[in-house]
Structure 1
């Protein structure tokens, strides 16, 4: 691990390769697991503002889950996340014609309906950021559903930090990312 500004960064995001392989996993990260997408407090306000524009993109099951649970669920640990449909799919999941999971928020963004891409935790994946009082930990989250993404990343020789470049810049800024890139070159 190394320190970069007010972050402690795992070397794994430099050492490991990763490129989402949706044709292999079908977007399993949005439909598997037992928790919704982690949300930051300021994202809750954004979701409340954009929801009327995202709602037309949602499946009926997603709308129902949101109406029953709310736009945001608070975990026992006090963390915020998106609600789930029957304890599985994120409430914001939609499927394309090939049955690949997509995000309704991102679909609304791609169609120019809203200007917010999606929760930063989704945009950063497989990188997870955990905020502490003095710093944030930036780590690689390994998950079996992403094995094909690791294989594709190795084939294409794209390290994690390059795969999530746009999201890292969105989260920490361009100067932070440029410093990370310099560290990676000397690594």
Structure 2
């Protein structure tokens, strides 16, 4: 376990390997599971402010689900998540020409329509954050639908924290990430 500022990071984040392999999984994380993508409270306002620019990127079914249920839902634990279509795929997910699920929010971002890339929980996956009084726990979420990503990461030698460099910096800042790299490098030196 790594303790860094107000975070506690599972060793799996540095020891396990991961690189998304959309060719293999087809974006299954956008459709599998009990709920949509977890949303932080500050993201609710961002979603409201940007929905009109995101809407044209969404499927008719996604737009209808959002009309009926709202831009997001509050679950049984009082947490927020994205709306889903029929309790399955995220309403913001879109299929590309190869039937791979991608993010309509991210597509609007890539096209320069909005400045928000996507929910941080999606960007950080396979890290899931649990919030406690005074700190956040970062854990590697093992899910069978990501087996191809684990194998691909292993083949390429890319640990989870390196694959997620951009979203970790987005969430915690450049200096936090540099400190994480220094701690991991020091641990590696101690092994030998």
User: TM-score of the superposition, structure 1-length normalised?
Assistant: 0.99
For 2:129, what is the secondary structure of its paired residue?
Answer: strand
**Equivalent residue, structure 2, for 1:111:** 111
Q: 1:8 Cα shift?
A: 0.6
**Equivalent residue, structure 2, for 1:178:** 178
Q: 1:2 Cα shift?
A: 2.0
**Equivalent residue, structure 1, for 2:21:** 21
Write out per-residue CA displacement over residues 66-96 of structure 1, whole angstroms, 9 at most, x where no aligned residue.
Answer: 1111111001100000011001000000011
User: How many angstroms apart in 1 are the aligned matches of 2:21 and 2:2?
Assistant: 29
For 1:35, what is the secondary structure of its paired residue?
Answer: coil
User: How many angstroms apart in 1 are the aligned matches of 2:40 and 2:59?
Assistant: 24
User: How many angstroms apart in 1 are the aligned matches of 2:134 and 2:184?
Assistant: 24
**Equivalent residue, structure 2, for 1:140:** 140
Write out per-residue CA displacement over residues 150-187 of structure 1, whole angstroms, 9 at most, x where no aligned residue.
Answer: 00000000000000000000000111100111111122
User: How many angstroms apart in 2 are the aligned matches of 1:20 and 1:181?
Assistant: 21
For 1:3, what is the secondary structure of its paired residue?
Answer: strand
For 2:43, what is the secondary structure of its paired residue?
Answer: helix
**Equivalent residue, structure 2, for 1:72:** 72
Matches within 5 A, 1:93-172: 93-172=93-172
Show structure 1 runs of 5+ residues with no match.
none
User: How many angstroms apart in 2 are the aligned matches of 1:72 and 1:105?
Assistant: 13
Matches within 5 A, 1:1-40: 1-40=1-40
**Equivalent residue, structure 2, for 1:57:** 57
Q: 1:5 Cα shift?
A: 0.2
For 1:13, what is the secondary structure of its paired residue?
Answer: helix
User: How many angstroms apart in 2 are the aligned matches of 1:26 and 1:182?
Assistant: 35
Q: Number of paired residues?
A: 187
**Equivalent residue, structure 1, for 2:190:** none
User: How many angstroms apart in 1 are the aligned matches of 2:184 and 2:21?
Assistant: 24
User: How many angstroms apart in 1 are the aligned matches of 2:18 and 2:185?
Assistant: 18
